[in-house]
A and B are shown apart, each in its own frame.
Chain A
C-alpha cells in the first residue's frame, strides 16, 4: 500500500512570489536544500545536502505556472512524487503539498539512512541566525 503526506500552508505573499520560491533554484535552496531545479517538464535535477550525505534525484513532471508544480523525489530509500498546488484568494496564497508513493516496506531502517535526524537541529540553527 502506498501512503501520502499532505500539508496545507498559507502565506501573505503574492502567488508569484511563492511560485518563485518553489521554482528558482537559488531561493528553493534557501529553504529546502541545494538544487538545480528549472520549471521545465522533463528537466532532471538533484537536491543535495553533503552534510547529510543525501542526494535526491528529481525530474519535473508538471509545470502550470503559477498554480502547479510536480516532480519526482527519489533517494534516501524512497521513491516518491512531490506536487505543489497554489491558489490565491483574498490576499492569501494557499500552498498545498502532496508527497505520494511511500511504500510500507520502505519504512523500516530507511528512516535514518542518511542521518536525517540532524536536519531538525540544523534547521533550528538556521532559524536562530535568521
Chain B
C-alpha cells in the first residue's frame, strides 16, 4: 500500500462520528474490550466491531485476543499528520491559490 492510499484510509476512518467517538474512548484508557466499548453506543456489537475493523485497517487501533474477548487500544501515531489544522490550511490555501493563478492567466 502506498503512502497516499494509507493517508486516504485514515481520513475515511475518522470522517465518521462513531469512529471518532471510539478513538476518544480509547484515548482515555490503556485498552478496552468490545463489550465495554459497545455500551457507549446505540448500536449492537456487530456494528461497533465493523467500525473498529475500519479503524484497524487504517492503523489507528490495535487489537489482541485475551481469552474469549478482543481488546482494543489506540495507536495515535498516524493521526499526527492530520491533527494539525494550521498545516492543513497552509496547504489548502497554496493549492487554492495555484488554481486562482491559472484562472487569472486564462483571462
Contacts and interface: CB of A to CB of B under 8 A. Distances in A.
Interface of A: 3, 5, 7, 9, 11-13, 17-18, 21, 27, 30-32, 77-78, 95, 97, 99, 102, 106-121, 123, 126-127, 130
B43 interface: no
Contacts, number: 101
Contacts of A9: 97, 101
B93 to A, nearest CB: 5
B43 to A, nearest CB: 20
B86 A127 contact: no
A100 to B, nearest CB: 11
- Grouping DSSP codes into helix (H, G, I), strand (E, B) and loop, the B interface class, with mixed when no group exceeds half, is helix
B22 to A, nearest CB: 11
Contacts of A121: 8
Given A31-B97, A126-B99, 5 more contacts: A5-B93, A21-B104, A30-B103, A117-B8, A127-B102
Nearest to A7: B93
B99 A115 contact: no
B95 A116 contact: no
B3 interface: no
B103 A115 contact: no
